Amino acid sequence: MRVITGTCRGRKLISPIGEDVRPTTDNVKESVFSIIQFSVEGRSFLDAFAGSGQMGIEALSRGAASAVFVDNSRRSLDVVRKNLELTGLRQRADIIGTDTLAYLSSCRRKFDIAFLDPPYKQGLLQNALVLLPRVMNESGYIICEHPADEALPERTGGFIIKKSYKYGKIMITVYSGESVEGL
């Protein structure tokens, strides 16, 4: 696992160890950032269910103004901290140790881009999608990584599915505000 491009290009990242961890592959990560490549710089990024923090770190490396990493696993948060130190990006990051759904329920911040990759088949993604629109800027993007056989709602709040991409057994679904053109 590595940072693909930007100020930390090529920097290797560590990953939490265990069967409950499923890091996004470099191929899928590169595809996600190709989709939103012109929308990252200067924006706020939410890495929900952060795991290793690699998606938020990639966003920071590509010029995101800030990133918030949310996870309820102490082990994962320790890895996020180490990866932020390895990349020198800690000063633009906030690390929140709590349940993502609880965070979204009480959050007062607004985000431009949110990436969600929760444990599969537990209803966490669907529940997060209900809560997420209220913490998103209208011109934002919600990006979900999920099993290809898991259907997501066409709309969540003022966000609609703009595009879905299949990578083997994994699907990336991108929501954007109704007023956002193209992708």
Structure confidence by residue, pLDDT tens digits, 15-43? 877 656 667 777 888 888 988 888 999 99
Digit-coded pLDDT (tens) for 137-154: 999 999 999 999 998 999
Instruction: Pull the structure tokens for residue 44.
Output: 């706020």
Contact predicate 1/12, CB 8 Å: yes
State what percent of residues in the chain have pLDDT above 70. Answer: 94
Taking the C-alpha atoms of residue 41 and residue 48, their distance in angstroms, rounded to an integer, is: 19
**Which fold, 26-177?**
Rossmann fold (3.40.50)
Per-residue pLDDT at 175 exceeds 70: yes
3-state class percentages of the chain: helix first, strand second, coil last, to nearest 5: 30, 30, 40
pLDDT at residue 121, as a whole number: 85
Could you tell me which residues come within 8 angstroms of residue 56 by beta carbon, excluding any fewer than 6 positions away? 45, 46, 47, 50, 64, 67, 68, 69, 80, 93, 115
**Residue spans per domain, the chain:** 26-177
Note the pLDDT of residue 24. Answer: 79
Please report, as a single letter, which amino acid is at residue 23: P
* pLDDT for residue 181: 65
- List of residues 6+ apart from 84 with CB closer than 8 A: 53, 57, 90, 93, 95
Cα distances from 182 to residues 35, 141, 157, in angstroms, run 10, 12, 19
Output the CA–CA distances (angstroms, integers) from residue 140 to 60, 131, 147, in the order listed.
16, 15, 23
The residue-averaged pLDDT of 6-13 equals 93
pLDDT score at 14: 92
Ranked by mean pLDDT, the top range of 3-7, 21-25, 68-72 is 68-72
- pTM given for the model: 0.93
Note the pLDDT of residue 19.
Answer: 53
